[in-house]
Chain A
Amino acid sequence: MTTASPPTDAISLRASYLDRLADADERGAVAVALDALDAGVDPETVLLDVVAGAQREVGDRWAAGEWTVVQEHVATHISERVVAAVAVHAPAPAPTGVGTVAVACLDGEWHGLPARLLAEVLARHGWAVEFLGASVPAAQLATHVHRVGPDLVAISSSLPSRLPAARRMVEACRATGTPVLAGGPAFGTDGRWARAVGADGWAPDARAAAAVLAASPDGPWFADGHDPAGTRGTPGDRSGREEQAVLHARRGELVALAAAAVRPDAGEVSEELADDLGHLVDFLAAAVFVDDPTLFDGFVHWVGTVTIPAGLRTTEVAPALDALSAALADSPRTARFLRGAHGAHGGLPAAVG
C-alpha cells in the first residue's frame, strides 16, 4: 500500500484514506496518515483535509444510502484512532500560555470527531485544551467549568436539532462568566443560530476557530459586541420555549401519529421510520425554539433527498407534515412553520408518487 513516493497532495491522500475506511482497514488508514506526516505533510492538513474531508464524504455516502449507519460508525471509529495516532506521532507543542479552552460536544451530539479535531488544532495553536468528549451533559460541563476555570468553552454540534441543548450549555457557561464559541453546522451556515442560543461567537470549522481565537483570545467574537446583561438574541422568547417544550413532551405521541398517517397498513413502526419522524419533530422543535422557519424548511428539504432504506420516503413527507399540523393546531408558531414547510418540500402533494 505504501509506494516508494506516496502522494502528498490532500486530494489523493483523502482518496486513498477513504479507500481504507471503505475496507474498514484501521491499520491501513493509520498508515496513510502517518506516511503523509513522514513525507512532510502538515499535521493540520492531515487532520482537516484528509481525515475530516474523508469523514464528510462518509456522511454523504450514508445520506445517499450507500453506507449503513454501522459502516459510518466503523469509519468514524477508525478516524478517531487515526487522530489519536497522529497526536502521538506528531505531538502538539507545549501550550504557549495564550489560554485554556474546554472543547465539548452538545448533549446528545454523538459526532465527537469534529470536536476532537478542533481540540487537536487548537492545541497546535498554543492553547491548553481540555477535550470533554461527545455528548457532554450540561451539568458535567458546568462542573468542569467551575473546577478548571477555562478561559473559554468551545461547543460543537452538527445537528441543529440539538439547539435547545446548546442553550442550556451556553447558560451554564455564562453563569460563570466564561465566553462560549460555537462551531459546526448545527449553528447554521452563517452561525445565525449560535447568536440565537446566546453564544459569544461562532466559527464554521476548526481552522476558522483557530483564526478567530488568534485574532481575539478573549472574545466576544460577534461583531456587534458584548452584551453582558445577556439580553442578546431572541431564544428566550416565551412562546418559543413553551412550544418547544410541548413538542419535546409529546415527541413519542407525535411520532406514532405521523407514522400511522404515512403507513397506515404497516403494523409495527420500523425503527428507521421512527428515527426519521423523531428527527422531524426535533428539528421542528429547534426551529420553533430559535424562531426561524428556515431551520425546519432546510431539514424537510434535506429529508426529501436522502435515501435511507425503510426510512421516511419523499412521498411520505407531506402526509407526515399534515398529521403533525392536525395534532399541533394549538401551537401557533409550530402550526405556521408546518404550513410553510410544504413549500420547502417542493409542494409535492401527498397523492403523487
Chain B
Amino acid sequence: MEGRRGAPTRDATRVPGPPSPAAPVTPAPPDGPALLEGFEEGVVVCDRAGVVRAANPAARTLLPGLRVGEVVDVAHCEVLARAVRDGVPEGFEAVVEHPGGERHVRGRRGPGLGTSPPPPEPQDGDSTWYLRDVTGEHARTDTLLAAQERAAFLAEAGRALHGVLHLDRTARRVVALAVPRLAAGATLVLRHDDTVTWARAELGGGRPRLGRVGAADLARVPALTAALTGDESLGPWLADELATLTGLGARPGPVRACPVPITGVVEAVVVLADPRSADAPARDDPLAAAEEDLLTSYVARAGTALAAAALHEEQAHLGAVLQESLAAPRLPATPGIAWGAAYRPARETMRVGGDFYEVAQGAERSAFLLGDVCGKGIEAAVLSGRVRQSWHALRLLEDRPGRLLPLLNTALLDAVATRDESPRFATMVLGDARPVGDGTVELRLATGGHPPPLVLRTTGEVETVAVSGMLVGGIREARFGEAEVLLRPGDVCLLYSDGVVEARGPGDFFGEERLAAALPRCAGAPAAVLCEQLEQTVVSWLDGHDHDDVAMLAIQAPRSEA
C-alpha cells in the first residue's frame, strides 16, 4: 500500500473534517437513547475516564468489543481510546480487526454534552464520538487507483513494445517490461521459423540477456514445447527445462507459464518467476482477477508486438536481399582508368531506384553503363535490374556500343512482350574505355534518349559530347547515336541522369547551365572527388526538397599515371 494516494495506514490520524455542529447542542430529549438506536453512524459516549457510557447498535456492530460500562480500550481501536483520553485527535481514520474482515473506520468528535440529561446518566466532561464504516468507500478508491495503475502499465507497455520492429529488441523489451510489475523474473521463449530465441530479465539483473537455440533442441524441453503451442497444463519441471534451454540457473520459487495467444506468425511463451498473479486466482477475489486480466492483456500485447516484429523482419529481409542485388555496385580499381560515381535514390529509405550504373572491368576495354528507367522506387529498381543483367550478358557477345544498344533494346521489348506489362522505357549511355598506354583513354559511347555526357578538360573547359538517340525499350526500329571521345590525363567524362539537372530547389531546376558552371572548379580533381562534389552541390541546391533519383558516373584518365 505504500506510496499510494488515499490509502490509509493503520490508525492514521486526520485533521477534522467539516466542523461539528456548534456546541452546546440542544439537550437530548428524554427518550434520547432510542433516538440514537436508528442512526447509521455509530455513536459512542465516554466519560472523562474513558469508560463507555453509551453506544448505539451501529457502533457496537462496527466495534464488537465495545462494552457499556467498561473502558473504551476493550474495543481494540487504539486511536479512539487515545482520542477519548487525550481529547485529540478530533478526527481519525483507522483500520480495525473485525470478525468479517478488516474495516475502515472514520471517527470524529461530537459536541460536549454539558449538564443536560443525556443517556443514561450524563456527567460533565463526557465526550461523544461518531463512528462511520468507510470500508466500502475505501475499497472503491483502491480499486480505482489499482485500475488506473494497471491501465498506465499497459499503455506504457504498448507504447514501448510497438515502437520496436526488430524481433530481438522486442523480445528483450517483453521481458524487461514484465519485471518487476508482473514478476521477479521473466523469460520469453520464442519460436520463429527454425529458430528458438529466448530472452530473460531478472530483478536487478541489468540488461536482459538473449540467446538462441536450434528448433531441434526443443525435444529436450517437452513441457516448454507444449507451452509454446498454447498448452497451459504444465509439469513441475518447467523451471528445470528453462535452465536447460537457456543455460542459466533456475531461480527458486514458483514459476508460471503464460502462452502468448496464437498469432500465426510466432509461437511464444512468457515464463514468470515468482509471479504476482498466482496460477489459479480465487474466483471471488476481484483484485486477483484484475491482476490476472492484466497479465492476459500484457501477454496478448507482447504477442502482437512479436508478430509484427517477426513479419517486419521477414519483409525487411526480403527488401534487404532485393536491395543488395539492386544497389549501386562498387567501382573496380582499373589500371589506367579512374572511376567515380554518386548515387542518391528518390526514396531514401530504399536506397534503390530507377537510376543505375554498372562498370565491368576488362583486360583491354572496360565497359560501363549509366541509365534511368521510368518510375521510382522498387518497381523501377526491379526493371533496372533486368536492364543491367541483360547488359552484362549481351556485352559478352557484342562489345561495340553502337551494336550493343540495339540488342539491349530488343531484349527489353521481348521481355515485356512475354509478360502482361505495359511497355517501360529506359534511357541510357553505354560504352567502353580503353587505356591507350600513353596515359590517354579512348571512349566509345552509344546513347538512347539520355542527356549527353559532358567532358571536363584539365583546363577547366567543359564540352558536351554531341550524341543523342531514341528511348530504349520503346520501338524495335529505334535509332541510337554513337560517339568517340579521347581523354587526356586528368580529363573526365561525366555521365549523369536527368535527376541531376531536374533537381528542383526552392526556386528553380538545377539545370544544365549550373552543372556546366559547377564543373570547372573540379578540373584535374580525381573522378571520385568530382562526383562527391557534384552530389553535394545538387543536394544543397535541393535544400531538403524531394527529388528524383540522382546518378553520376565519371570516367577519367588518371593524372599521375602518365
Q: Do A and B come from one complex?
A: yes
Residues of A within 8 A of B168 (CB): 149
Which single residue of chain B is at the shortest CB-CB distance from A80?
B528
Whole-angstrom distance between the alpha carbons of A73 and B533 in the complex? 8
Judge whether B486 is part of the interface by a CB distance below 8 angstroms: no
B207 and A108 form a contact (CB under 8 A): no
B533 and A140 form a contact (CB under 8 A): no
- Chain B interface size range: 20 to 34
B160 and A139 form a contact (CB under 8 A): no
- Find the residue from A74, A137, A145, A178 having the highest chain B CB count within 10 A: A74
A108 and B163 form a contact (CB under 8 A): no
Residues of A within 8 A of B444 (CB): none
B525 and A218 form a contact (CB under 8 A): no
A59 vs chain B, min Cβ distance (A): 16
Judge whether B312 is part of the interface by a CB distance below 8 angstroms: yes
Whole-angstrom distance between the alpha carbons of A21 and B160 in the complex? 49
Q: Which of A70, A143, A178, A252 contacts B529 (CB 8 A)?
A: A70
- Using A77-B529, A140-B348 as known contacts, say yes or no to A135 and B539 having CB atoms under 8 A apart: yes
Judge whether A110 is part of the interface by a CB distance below 8 angstroms: yes
Q: Which of B164, B320, B349, B536 contacts A177 (CB 8 A)?
A: B164
Contact with A along B400-440 (1 / 0, CB 8 A): 00000000000000000000000000000000000000000
B349 and A108 form a contact (CB under 8 A): no
B505 vs chain A, min Cβ distance (A): 8
Q: Which of B163, B320, B505, B529 contacts A74 (CB 8 A)?
A: B529
B472 vs chain A, min Cβ distance (A): 30
A1 vs chain B, min Cβ distance (A): 14
Whole-angstrom distance between the alpha carbons of A279 and B509 in the complex? 21
Residues of A within 8 A of B532 (CB): 73, 77, 110
Contact with A along B183-194 (1 / 0, CB 8 A): 000000000000
B155 vs chain A, min Cβ distance (A): 13
Whole-angstrom distance between the alpha carbons of A140 and B319 in the complex? 13
B443 vs chain A, min Cβ distance (A): 23
Q: Which of A74, A143, A218 contacts B526 (CB 8 A)?
A: A74
Residues of B within 8 A of A26 (CB): 526, 560
A175 and B163 form a contact (CB under 8 A): yes
From 121 to 157 in chain A, residues with beta carbon under 8 angstroms from any chain B beta carbon are 135, 137, 139-140, 142-143, 145-149
Judge whether B166 is part of the interface by a CB distance below 8 angstroms: yes
Whole-angstrom distance between the alpha carbons of A252 and B540 in the complex? 12
Judge whether A251 is part of the interface by a CB distance below 8 angstroms: yes
Which single residue of chain B is at the shortest CB-CB distance from A71?
B525
Judge whether B204 is part of the interface by a CB distance below 8 angstroms: no
From 288 to 318 in chain B, residues with beta carbon under 8 angstroms from any chain A beta carbon are 312-313, 316
Whole-angstrom distance between the alpha carbons of A77 and B342 in the complex? 14
A310 vs chain B, min Cβ distance (A): 12
Residues of A within 8 A of B525 (CB): 70, 73-74
Whole-angstrom distance between the alpha carbons of A77 and B506 in the complex? 30
Judge whether A96 is part of the interface by a CB distance below 8 angstroms: no
Judge whether B457 is part of the interface by a CB distance below 8 angstroms: no
B173 and A147 form a contact (CB under 8 A): no
From 87 to 130 in chain A, residues with beta carbon under 8 angstroms from any chain B beta carbon are 108, 110
Contact with B along A231-261 (1 / 0, CB 8 A): 0000000000000000010011000000000
A147 and B166 form a contact (CB under 8 A): yes
Residues of A within 8 A of B544 (CB): 248
Whole-angstrom distance between the alpha carbons of A74 and B544 in the complex? 26
Judge whether A211 is part of the interface by a CB distance below 8 angstroms: no
Q: Which of A74, A142, A148 contacts B349 (CB 8 A)?
A: A142
B165 and A176 form a contact (CB under 8 A): yes
Which single residue of chain B is at the shortest CB-CB distance from A136?
B348
Which single residue of chain B is at the shortest CB-CB distance from A175?
B163
A221 vs chain B, min Cβ distance (A): 15
Residues of B within 8 A of A208 (CB): none
Whole-angstrom distance between the alpha carbons of A69 and B533 in the complex? 9
Q: Which of B165, B349, B528 contacts A140 (CB 8 A)?
A: B349
Whole-angstrom distance between the alpha carbons of A145 and B309 in the complex? 13
Q: Which of A69, A77, A177, A278 contacts B173 (CB 8 A)?
A: A177
Judge whether B376 is part of the interface by a CB distance below 8 angstroms: no
A139 and B543 form a contact (CB under 8 A): no
- Using A251-B543, A252-B507 as known contacts, say yes or no to A73 and B529 having CB atoms under 8 A apart: yes
B349 and A139 form a contact (CB under 8 A): yes
Which single residue of chain B is at the shortest CB-CB distance from A137?
B348
Q: Which of A68, A73, A176 contacts B164 (CB 8 A)?
A: A176
Residues of B within 8 A of A178 (CB): 169
Whole-angstrom distance between the alpha carbons of A204 and B178 in the complex? 37
Judge whether B521 is part of the interface by a CB distance below 8 angstroms: yes
Residues of B within 8 A of A69 (CB): 521, 533
Whole-angstrom distance between the alpha carbons of A82 and B163 in the complex? 40
Judge whether B351 is part of the interface by a CB distance below 8 angstroms: yes
Residues of A within 8 A of B536 (CB): 110
Whole-angstrom distance between the alpha carbons of A73 and B527 in the complex? 11
From 517 to 562 in chain B, residues with beta carbon under 8 angstroms from any chain A beta carbon are 521-522, 525-526, 528-529, 532-533, 536, 539-540, 543-544, 560
B160 and A70 form a contact (CB under 8 A): no
- Using A70-B522, A177-B163 as known contacts, say yes or no to A147 and B529 having CB atoms under 8 A apart: no
- Find the residue from A139, A148, A177 having the highest chain B CB count within 10 A: A177
Q: Which of B160, B165, B505, B507 contacts A146 (CB 8 A)?
A: B165
Residues of B within 8 A of A68 (CB): 521
Residues of B within 8 A of A278 (CB): 540
Whole-angstrom distance between the alpha carbons of A202 and B525 in the complex? 36
Whole-angstrom distance between the alpha carbons of A73 and B532 in the complex? 9
Whole-angstrom distance between the alpha carbons of A10 and B455 in the complex? 41
Residues of A within 8 A of B167 (CB): 149
A26 vs chain B, min Cβ distance (A): 8
From 141 to 174 in chain B, residues with beta carbon under 8 angstroms from any chain A beta carbon are 160, 163-169, 173
Which single residue of chain B is at the shortest CB-CB distance from A146?
B165
A108 and B166 form a contact (CB under 8 A): no
Q: Which of B320, B526, B528, B560 contacts A147 (CB 8 A)?
A: B320
From 263 to 278 in chain A, residues with beta carbon under 8 angstroms from any chain B beta carbon are 278
From 336 to 369 in chain B, residues with beta carbon under 8 angstroms from any chain A beta carbon are 348-349, 351
- Find the residue from A137, A145, A149, A178 having the highest chain B CB count within 10 A: A149
A187 vs chain B, min Cβ distance (A): 21
A131 vs chain B, min Cβ distance (A): 14
- Using A140-B351, A147-B316, A252-B506 as known contacts, say yes or no to A70 and B165 having CB atoms under 8 A apart: no
- Using A135-B539, A143-B349 as known contacts, say yes or no to A77 and B166 having CB atoms under 8 A apart: no
Chain B interface (Cβ < 8 Å from any Cβ of A): 160, 163-169, 173, 207, 312-313, 316, 320, 348-349, 351, 505-507, 521-522, 525-526, 528-529, 532-533, 536, 539-540, 543-544, 560
Given contacts A139-B349, A176-B166, 19 further A-B contacts (CB under 8 A): A26-B526, A68-B521, A70-B522, A70-B525, A70-B529, A70-B533, A73-B529, A77-B528, A140-B349, A142-B349, A146-B312, A147-B166, A176-B163, A176-B164, A177-B160, A177-B169, A178-B169, A218-B207, A248-B544
Sampled A-B contacts (21; CB under 8 Å): A68-B521, A69-B533, A70-B525, A70-B533, A73-B529, A73-B532, A74-B526, A77-B526, A77-B528, A110-B532, A110-B536, A135-B539, A140-B348, A142-B349, A146-B316, A149-B166, A149-B168, A176-B164, A252-B505, A252-B506, A252-B543
Pairs of residues from A and B, 4 with the lowest C-beta to C-beta distance, nearest first: A149-B166, A137-B348, A146-B165, A147-B316
